[in-house]
Structure 1
Amino acid sequence: MNRSARILTAILVPVLVIALCGCAPEKKAKERRIAFVFKVDGLLYSEVCKRGAMQAAKELGVRVDYLAPDKAEVGKQIAIVEQLIAEKTDAIVISPNDADAIVPVIRKAMDAGVKVFTWDSDAPASQRIFYVAAADDVKIGEDIADALAKDIGEKGKVQIVSGGRGAANLNLHVQGMEKAFAKYPGITLVQPYIYNDDDNQKARTMAIAALQKDPDIVGFACANSPSAPAVGEAITSLNKIGAVKVWGLALPSETRQYLKSGAVSGLMLWDPAKLTYYTAKVVNAYLDGKQPEDGEQVEGIGAVSFSNGVLLIPGVTITKENVDEFDF
């Protein structure tokens, strides 16, 4: 190789390297990940929520995970959140088993740059960005109590039933029930309240025990989804249909037979799939820089309200007359 060729080669080789580097494919952008953390796995309510999350994932083109502990224990939820922080998840949406105990790990996630939201159940003292629910938690309790009071002629003994003692949404439902029942001097609330930890079998067993202990109970106000069908089953097994009235929160599919038989009078609810679907969409929009809007009309949902960090979608009253209109 002569001197001119060597000079030309020395010039061309770096240019070739630079050109090859310039042609290298761009690194694929990190896929956005939104992780839902529910109270407990295995409930039909949870499965319906999951359906909404998966639908949102398809439409949004983002990764949406749905996680839940095998028992309704806040410690197990905290462990899931810790793992999601380590995995640098973009957003965590949680329904806390204990509104207070979850606060430190939410702070840790936010400090680590992970955006945290609550849905279905709130942790109002935490740094969560906003809370998405189907109606005001206290108002739901009031509506259940008022409907039950009317059903029992505004007199008699009423048993309040709930799930976990630390669940903020359930405690607010109970507060609403207490507030409403206070308007009816003829109604006596049976003490202690029943807490069944969102366990279907425990809910049924505890309802039977309550009725056997106090046969004068004429109504059950149920704050969590497993309770109304479980109480309906208990009333049926004890041949007390008509003598004991039940109002609460539950899925139509789990309660349909009891609504039609009269063991359960009615439900105050929403579509959990739509709630979770909408939550995924509004969280994804927030990550894109868009804030929720008060009064926005959402297709398939209706008008949503947004105030003081709480985003609410409309609910519905379900009775034997309209239960077949719902497929969840």
Structure 2
Amino acid sequence: MKNLLLITLLCLLGGCSGEQSAKQGTGGKNQSGKPKIALIMKSLANEFFSTMADGAEQYQAENAEQFDLVVNGIKDERDLGRQVSLVEEMIAANVDAIVIAPADSKALVPVLRRAKKTGIVVVNIDNRLDSDVLKAEEVAIPFVGPDNKAGAKKVGAYLAGKLKSGDEVCILEGIRTSFNGQQRFAGFQEAMKEANIKIGDHQSAEWEMSKANTIAASMLSEHPNTKAILAANDSMALGAVAAVKAAGKSGDVLVVGFDNISAVQQAIQEGKILATADQHGDQLAVFGIQNALKLLEDKDAVVEDVETPVDLITQETLAK
């Protein structure tokens, strides 16, 4: 009898709904009355993604009455398991929407399908999810981001204008299972083919500066006629610049990148890097958040991709 009275008292004080208790502290619409959006990115050690986070947080601060924001990222862009765990944590936290830059185009699809099945709006940014896997999982997730192939082709074409027909170049690829890495490599290839530039070697440095430095040094040694190195992101471009300098070839081997991080802007101004592509990282997550808010307003809306800008950055454009 005493136990029954105690249980009754606890129910009166705290509420008896197991569902309510589970949602306390989750931060969905239960506390603030506003939707909660989770931004899940790749490595925050990469300046591009820290810039993306800063842009998203600034946008939330300017629109605090519209939504709450949780920002997460993994330490290593290859740590797929941790990024899957982050999605699972956000599902458990009962967020209203997930905006994600997936570390892998295929591996994240199943857990994102599970998120959608719980009613969470999911928006894909930066690195497009694999269309075949999405189809196999029977899930539609909109992609908000740039045409990476077109952006890389702009950079490659600009580089080709500084070279001669028949010259030899090398390419540093990103993670090969990432759609954006595949598309940037394809854009570089297409630009080189159209200019009749030979690709002497191409290897994946997995987006990492130190790995790019080691691979670029090997490329320069094995291919002494290399006239340029095309890097699929700016971190790898910086690694390539260091390798070029160590080989005593500064000024003789051109380097291009992709992302327009601040360190590369400085390197372009100093003539160490020829060009990069700006996919407006400070706004990319914002575009995804805006799309998520629209879908939250109307969950029956047609899921559509949104192409965002990508621009060529050179000494000339930085001088404007």
TM (norm. structure 1) is 0.79
Closer, same or farther: CA 32–258 of 1 in aligned 2, 3 Å: same
More divergent stretch after superposition (85-94 vs 251-260): 251-260
Task: Give SS of 1:232's match.
Answer: helix
* Matching residue within 269, 285, 292 for 1:260: 269
Aligned twin of 1:76? 82
Per the TM alignment, residue 84 of structure 1 is displaced from its structure 2 partner at its CA by: 1.0
Identity of aligned residues (%): 24
Inter-partner Cα distance in structure 2 for 1:321 and 1:252: 17
Aligned twin of 1:39? 42
Inter-partner Cα distance in structure 1 for 2:266 and 2:164: 24
Closer, same or farther: CA 324–88 of 1 in aligned 2, 3 Å: farther
Per the TM alignment, residue 200 of structure 1 is displaced from its structure 2 partner at its CA by: 2.0
The runs of 5 or more residues in structure 1 that have no matched partner are 1-26, 293-306
Per the TM alignment, residue 51 of structure 1 is displaced from its structure 2 partner at its CA by: 0.8
* Matching residue within 46, 53, 57 for 2:56: 53
Per the TM alignment, residue 60 of structure 1 is displaced from its structure 2 partner at its CA by: 2.5
Instruction: Say which one has the larger Rg.
Output: 1
The root-mean-square deviation of aligned C-alpha atoms, in Å, is 2.3
Aligned twin of 1:213? 222
What amino acid does structure 1 have at the position aligned with 2:72?
A: L
Inter-partner Cα distance in structure 2 for 1:316 and 1:241: 26
More divergent stretch after superposition (45-54 vs 280-289): 280-289
Structure-to-structure mapping, 1:148-187, within 5 angstroms: 148-185=159-196, 187=197
CA contact under 8 A between 1:56 and 1:281: conserved in structure 2?
no
Alignment partner of 1:189 is 2:199: yes
CA contact under 8 A between 1:158 and 1:217: conserved in structure 2?
yes
Closer, same or farther: CA 252–78 of 1 in aligned 2, 3 Å: closer
Per the TM alignment, residue 324 of structure 1 is displaced from its structure 2 partner at its CA by: 5.8
Alignment partner of 1:131 is 2:143: yes
Per the TM alignment, residue 132 of structure 1 is displaced from its structure 2 partner at its CA by: 1.1
Per the TM alignment, residue 28 of structure 1 is displaced from its structure 2 partner at its CA by: 5.0
Inter-partner Cα distance in structure 2 for 1:278 and 1:44: 19
Alignment partner of 1:312 is 2:298: no
Aligned twin of 1:12? none
Aligned twin of 2:108? 102
CA contact under 8 A between 1:158 and 1:220: conserved in structure 2?
yes
Inter-partner Cα distance in structure 2 for 1:78 and 1:223: 24
Closer, same or farther: CA 85–28 of 1 in aligned 2, 3 Å: closer
* Matching residue within 221, 224, 231 for 1:222: 231
CA contact under 8 A between 1:117 and 1:128: conserved in structure 2?
no
CA contact under 8 A between 2:209 and 2:237: conserved in structure 1?
no
How many residues were matched structurally? 282
CA contact under 8 A between 2:159 and 2:256: conserved in structure 1?
yes
Inter-partner Cα distance in structure 1 for 2:300 and 2:308: 16
Inter-partner Cα distance in structure 2 for 1:150 and 1:75: 42
Inter-partner Cα distance in structure 1 for 2:156 and 2:260: 18
* CA-to-aligned-CA distance 1:68-127 (integer Å, 9 cap, x gap): 111112222111111111111111111112111111111111111111111111104223
Inter-partner Cα distance in structure 2 for 1:110 and 1:252: 33
Task: Give SS of 1:89's match.
Answer: coil
* CA-to-aligned-CA distance 1:276-318 (integer Å, 9 cap, x gap): 22322232232123999xxxxxxxxxxxxxx983212222221
What amino acid does structure 2 have at the position aligned with 1:190?
A: G
Closer, same or farther: CA 324–42 of 1 in aligned 2, 3 Å: farther
* CA-to-aligned-CA distance 1:38-84 (integer Å, 9 cap, x gap): 12221111110011110121122222122111111222211111111
Closer, same or farther: CA 29–97 of 1 in aligned 2, 3 Å: closer
Inter-partner Cα distance in structure 1 for 2:32 and 2:194: 58
Aligned twin of 1:270? 279
More divergent stretch after superposition (111-120 vs 307-316): 307-316
The runs of 5 or more residues in structure 2 that have no matched partner are 1-29
